[in-house]
Amino acid sequence: MPLERLNKVLAHQGHASRRDAEKLITAGRVKVNGVTVTALATKVDPAVDRVEVEAEALAQHSAALVWVMLNKPSGVVCTKADGEGPNVMGHLPEEAEWQALRPVGRLDKESRGLIFLSNDGVLSYAILDPDTHLEKEYEVEVAERLGESHLDKFRAGMIVDGKRTRPAPCHMVGENRFRVSLSEGRNRQIRRMTDKMGVTVKDLFRVRIGPVLLGDLPEGRWRRLTEEEVNGLRQAVKEKHPSASSGQGED
């Protein structure tokens, strides 16, 4: 297959954005066929050359971009690192082309629901860009009985770590269940907000990322995103943050 710039290969395999990949290269943290490279103009054949980032080998596969969704069970971590317990990669086929995918963002170990995995680093980073504000919707069950006064704090935002959270649309779906849509990616935000209100989360289930719904996908199962769903993500990124890359051009 034709040679590609090294930073593009790193981005397409989900390791970093192209800009961050350039930093990895110039810092001497990338090897090609066992040799450290620092030249940004380096080109490789991803189907033949062995590329390593800090001793982690990237799988050799075609440049085809793959997007899948997984209904993550509780107790599973969103990382490829060993030693942290069961991880999302254990729910994908063992073939190298599937294990080359990377989680797009995180979902707490104890939380459940929708997470994407992909080798499309450009669109992945556009989705995760803090300036994109792509909505993620969750269904939350708490131990206590809820009232509208609780939800009003989500709607108005509250101070967490010295900074006010963005307004979060939400509505009741039961005496102790509600749905909330977040447009920012703070660590464990829902749990930290409910803790401040004296409310204990029993279950947190992500049902939507941008325009893509989890639907009736069984827990622990995965499926490919349709072309329409991927295009919907690209369009949502453009609408939310027009300057963010949508994977159609240079990052």
State the catalytic residues.
108
Q: Where are the alpha helices (DSSP H) in 27-156?
A: 96-99, 121-128, 148-156
Tell me if 96 sits within 8 A of 59, measured CB to CB. yes
108 burial type by CB count under 10 A (0-12 exposed, 13-18 middle, 19+ buried): middle
Radius of gyration in angstroms for the set of CA atoms belonging to the chain, rounded to a whole number: 20
205 burial type by CB count under 10 A (0-12 exposed, 13-18 middle, 19+ buried): buried
Q: Report the distance separating Cα 197 and Cα 41, nearest Å.
A: 53
